[in-house]
Structure 1
Amino acid sequence: MRYSTLLSFAFAPRTLASPAPDPVQVRAASLTYTLTSGFTGLHTSVAPPSCLGITNGTTDNDLINGVCKNLTLVFARGTTEKGNIGDIVGPPFVHALVSMLGEAQVAVQGVNNYPADVQDFLAGGSVTGSHDMAALIAQTVTQCPGTKLCVSGYSQGAQIAHNAAKLISPAQTSFINSVVLFGDPDDGEAFGKVSASNISTDCHIGDDICLHGDWILVPHLDHCLDADTEASFVVQKSGLKTVGGAAS
């Protein structure tokens, strides 16, 4: 191409407008940046919750491995978290349950077929993750009929739990002993047909996700502080004996 032609093209008036960006893609890009790079920044400007130091692994597959115990926790992690129970809430919550009931009484199963990506969060929760959690609930009912089942999730994981509740049968719904929802994007919505008295929703003041927004702020990242409180709720609903104690 001749130089004069290049100049003509460069300075010619534009006749085609640039396509408008997809609002969902813009929100997804912003949220992805916050989740991948903003977490560290947020927690260097404030005192990090001490519970974030609790780690007992981010993947648990007791149910898939054929394990049945007195309490079964089926848990869905939050967006971009590692493993199948995550890093922020899952491990501290499991730690609290085990501390109260003993490891011999607690089986933990994370949701596996679940990418936990931003786009699925913005769409209302992963479809594959929702179906996987529903299947795990059904498996618990048939495989471990004597267990007390707790269904739980954090952030998008709470969306997954809500969605799964709409996919299971009435008999499977009635089998659920307790529900704990941390940082619930669907706060205020019913959880299938589960009685409200068996549900505990952990939403902090200032948590935009609980207000149906998509800003990841500090109040959404410190739900691990409530792990003991929510574990106590689960134990109380289960009626199981605590470590060194009587039935709750």
Structure 2
Amino acid sequence: MTASRVLTAAVLATLAGSLCSPGTGVAQPSPAGRSCPALWVLGVQGTSESSPGASETADSGMLGQLLGPVQAAAPNLVAHTYIGYPASFGGAVGTGGGTDPYVVSAGAGLAGLTDTAGQIAAECPGTALAAVGYSQGAQVVSSFAQAVGAGEGPVDPGRVAGIALFSDPQRAPGSPVIPGRPGQLTPDPAPGTSGAAVSQVAITTAPASGSGIATTSGVDFGALTGRVADICVEGDLSCSAPDRAALLRMSAQLAAQADLRDPIAALGSMQALLASTLGDAWTTVVLNDFQIGPASVDYVPAVSLAQRLTDAADSRTPAPGPADNAAASAKWAQVTAVVAANPFTQLPNLAARLSEAWGQLVADNADLLDPAVLLRYADTSSRHTSYHSTGQLASSVAWLTALAYDLAGSYQ
């Protein structure tokens, strides 16, 4: 098949997919019993778009508009499977019927994706894998890809042909569309292929500002770098949250762990989580940021107060244990004793240091007080759901189709 025919087929399949709204479901044949294809794509849907018993093959939700056209463009070369998982957000109104907190839901999605990828890799040793995710599903796929890229996943990195993320809550600050490859528009070829078909693909979505709402540390895809596309629409709060909005990120981390089924449950859950977060942050600050000399005490933060709060709110950060809490109490008693022994010398210095920290905390949240920034997110909900309607899926349809032809060796 010629280059023009491959890409034309992908584009036509994309246009055909646009006739189906994201909420419709079109059943695909079950992959059970099918011979192993050149490429097997695993999809993880967004919040409210899946459930533990969801169909593995019905093309619905945002990703149905991506994988349906890919299957149509290369029916004999591709299989695709959706990972059923809660896709819930604590039971909050408008987030589907599930009541599991977001972090529990995403954890279940990651476990399902990991198990399915390992099973397919074992049953089809000649088949390459790809994974795509949208919104909560993108966070699941991002975590999977980072583990695989670090050599800690269920499959060897060489088995993964490509990863496509849409509205990724873990998107790195200022990430280019191909993370780790600023300015690169064409993904790297699948391992072991010439990349002839993939070389004809360009992912031209403009890089968005900001970062994912759940991003608190570095994002590294390791050996998969170059084969990951992280596509984010400007103004989508999920993946393009403002840089200076630490309290927003902290609140998002708390909400992801909360019971949000009704206002009473939400208030109680958030209050308990906030109290725990503040306590954990204070313990970490005392242990790491206060320095005690023979007759002096100083506050020298290793990281900002905003980072301490955000880290403490993140369920992925190990909470201080009883020994840490005891050590913090003992150290604070030392701080108090040193200050009490010479208050006229110690207090002015500490006050100045803490004032600087407070000023930095205000600066780290400056975007929350900027009307121009807030205006950029006025229609964030519509932007979050616009990836199909604005054509952001089309390049990934072409990319996954091209991967299949390269892997099958049928691109001419």
Category of TM-score, reference length = shorter chain: 0.5 to 0.7
| The one of 372, 382, 393 aligned to 1:227 | 393
Would you say 1:193 and 2:222 are equivalent positions? yes
Counterpart position of 2:161: 177
TM-aligned CA deviation for residue 132 of structure 1: 0.9
How far apart are the structure 1 equivalents of 2:42 and 2:101? 19
Q: Secondary structure at the match of 1:152?
A: strand
Q: Partners in 1 of 2:171 and 2:107 — Cα distance? A: 19
Residue 118 of structure 1 corresponds to which residue in structure 2?
89
How large is the RMSD of aligned CA atoms in angstroms?
3.2
User: In the alignment, what sits opposite 2:71?
Assistant: 98
Distance 1:174 1:133 in 2: 17
| 2:26 counterpart (46, 54, 57) | 57
**How many residues are aligned here?**
193
Q: Which residue of 1 aligns with 2:381?
A: 217
The DSSP-based 3-state class of the residue aligned with 2:79 is strand
Deviation of 1:182 (Å): 1.1
In structure 1, the partner of 2:304 is none
Deviations 1:163-198 (A, max 9, x none): 333275375333111000111111125364342210
Please, which runs of 5 or more residues in structure 2 have no aligned partner?
1-16, 91-99, 173-217, 242-248, 253-376
Correspondence 1:147 to 2:127: yes
For residue 66 of structure 1, report the CA deviation from its aligned partner: 4.3
How big is each residue's C-alpha offset from its partner over 1:130-183, in whole Å with a ceiling of 9 and x where there is no partner?
111011111121111222211111110011112333275375333111000111
Distance 1:162 1:235 in 2: 21
Change (3 A) 1:191 1:136: farther
TM-score w.r.t. length of structure 1 = 0.65
Task: Tell me which residue corresponds to 1:4.
Answer: none
Contact 2:44/2:138 (8 A) holds in 1: yes
Cα distance between partner residues in 2 of 1:138 and 1:77: 19
Do the aligned residues in 1 keep the contact of 2:118 with 2:154 (CA within 8 Å)? no
Question: Which runs of structure 1 show a deviation greater than 6 angstroms over 4 or more consecutive aligned residues?
Answer: none
Q: Percent identity?
A: 20
Per the TM alignment, residue 122 of structure 1 is displaced from its structure 2 partner at its CA by 4.3
Structure 1 stretches lacking a partner, 5+ long: 1-48
Cα separation, 2, equivalents of 1:184 and 1:121: 18
Q: After superposing the two structures, state which structure 1 stretch, 49-58 or 82-91, moved more.
A: 49-58
Measured after TM superposition, the shift of residue 128 of structure 1 is: 1.6
Q: Distance in 1 between matches of 2:106 and 2:144?
A: 10
Alignment-derived partner of residue 22 in structure 1: none
Amino acid in the other structure paired with 1:94: L
Give the corresponding residue for 2:45. Answer: 77
Provide the rounded CA distance (Å) in 1 between the counterparts of 2:112 and 2:19. 28
Question: Deviation of residue 205 (structure 1)?
Answer: 1.2
Partner Cα separation in structure 1 for residue 46 and residue 25 of structure 2? 17
Q: Cα offset for 1:203? A: 0.7
Bigger shift: 182-191 or 207-216?
A: 207-216
Alignment CA distance shift 1:171-1:109 (3 Å): closer
Q: CA deviation at 1:69?
A: 1.4
Quick one: which amino acid aligns to residue 135 of structure 1? D
1:138 aligns with 2:105: no
Q: Is the 8 A contact 1:78 1:156 kept in 2?
A: yes
